[in-house]
């Protein structure tokens, strides 16, 4: 999969794209279909959906924001993939009011669980959208990354607050309603009946490194990308990642 993001933005998503690329290739090989059906819950303006459509896949984006869906439609048209991208207004709780149950080879659930009332229900709904043998890409905010960031900024009381808070929040001003550990996310995936086949830390270093260093030091961007990739699979770094990515696979086969 060609890198769909600008270099600076790629720091935030490169690990996810690498994992997702491999998963898509496995599903194409398993199904014998070059064009997969992908559901992107909370997909917003299409940061993942449009590049996936450029690869030839059919993508349905479910998002509660009309403005995001308008931006998605415009972006898909500009990229020449409007025929392969469909945006519908909805959320994880009422997913099957707007999406097909059991109708997708791959489901993306990125940045959704932080905001739903019941994360377990949210994961169960996304899993119910999968075909047999389908793949779930789950991305959510990591607790450890937030604690580390607050501590490094000198906000030690807030860092301790996040550690002890059941939702991983550092205070009333925290814009993220909920954060997770790797164990919590894998438990949600397994509880919904999937096998958690891979766990990766995302943005282990990139949120902590001064932007001016990355932008001005020759070779720093490429070196940081390689460092992120090398650390992503190591469990020791999951506890300090800004985000956590879990890849889940459903049992059964679907060669249709």
The distance in angstroms from the start CA to the end CA of the chain is 24
Cα–Cα distance measured from residue 151 to residue 141, given in angstroms and rounded to the nearest whole number: 17
Query: Using 50, 70 and 90 to split pLDDT, how confident is the model at 7?
Result: low
What DSSP state is assigned to residue 83? G
Query: Cβ atoms within 10 A of the Cβ of 251, count?
Result: 10
CA atoms within 13 A on the CB side of 166: 0
Reference 182, options 153, 221, 212, 141; nearest CA is 141
Per-residue model confidence (pLDDT) at position 6 = 47
Torsion of CA 115, 208, 108, 43, to 10 degrees: 70
pLDDT in tens, 63-96: 999 999 999 999 999 999 999 999 999 988 889 9
Beta bridge partners of 109: 41, 138
Q: Which of 108-112, 157-161, 216-220 has the lowest average pLDDT?
A: 216-220
CA-CA distance, 243 to 251, in Å (whole number)? 26
Q: What is the pLDDT of residue 194?
A: 96
pLDDT exceeds cutoff 50 at 205: yes
**Tens-place pLDDT, residues 97-107:** 999 999 999 99
Return the DSSP state at 93.
T
What pTM, to 2 d.p., does this model score?
Answer: 0.91
Q: Which of 98, 131, 165 is nearest to 31 (CA)?
A: 131
How far is the C-alpha of 199 from the C-alpha of 206, rounded, in Å?
Answer: 18
């Amino acid at each position: 999969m060609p890198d769909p993001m600008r270099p600076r933005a790629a720091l935030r998503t490169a690990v996810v794209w690498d994992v997702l690329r491999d998963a898509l290739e496995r599903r194409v090989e398993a199904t014998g279909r070059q064009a997969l059906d992908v559901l992107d819950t909370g997909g917003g303006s299409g940061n993942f959906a449009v590049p996936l459509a450029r690869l030839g896949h059919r993508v349905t984006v479910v998002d509660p924001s009309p403005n995001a869906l308008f931006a998605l439609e415009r972006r898909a048209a500009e990229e020449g993939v409007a025929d392969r991208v469909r945006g519908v207004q909805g959320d994880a709780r009422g997913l099957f009011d707007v999406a097909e149950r059991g109708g997708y080879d791959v489901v993306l659930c990125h940045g959704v669980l932080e905001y739903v009332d019941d994360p377990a229900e949210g994961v169960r709904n996304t899993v119910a959208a999968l075909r047999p043998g389908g793949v779930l890409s789950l991305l959510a905010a990591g607790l450890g990354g937030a604690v580390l960031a607050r501590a490094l900024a000198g906000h030690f009381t807030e860092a301790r607050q996040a550690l002890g808070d059941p939702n991983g929040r550092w205070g009333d001003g925290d814009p993220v309603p909920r954060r997770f550990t790797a164990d919590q996310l894998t438990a949600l995936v397994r509880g919904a009946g999937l096998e958690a086949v891979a766990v990766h830390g995302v943005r282990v270093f990139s949120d902590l490194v001064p932007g001016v260093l990355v932008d001005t030091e020759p070779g720093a961007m490429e070196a940081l990308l390689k460092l992120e990739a090398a650390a992503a699979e190591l469990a020791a770094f999951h506890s300090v990642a800004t985000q956590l990515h879990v890849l889940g696979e459903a049992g059964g086969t679907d060669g249709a």
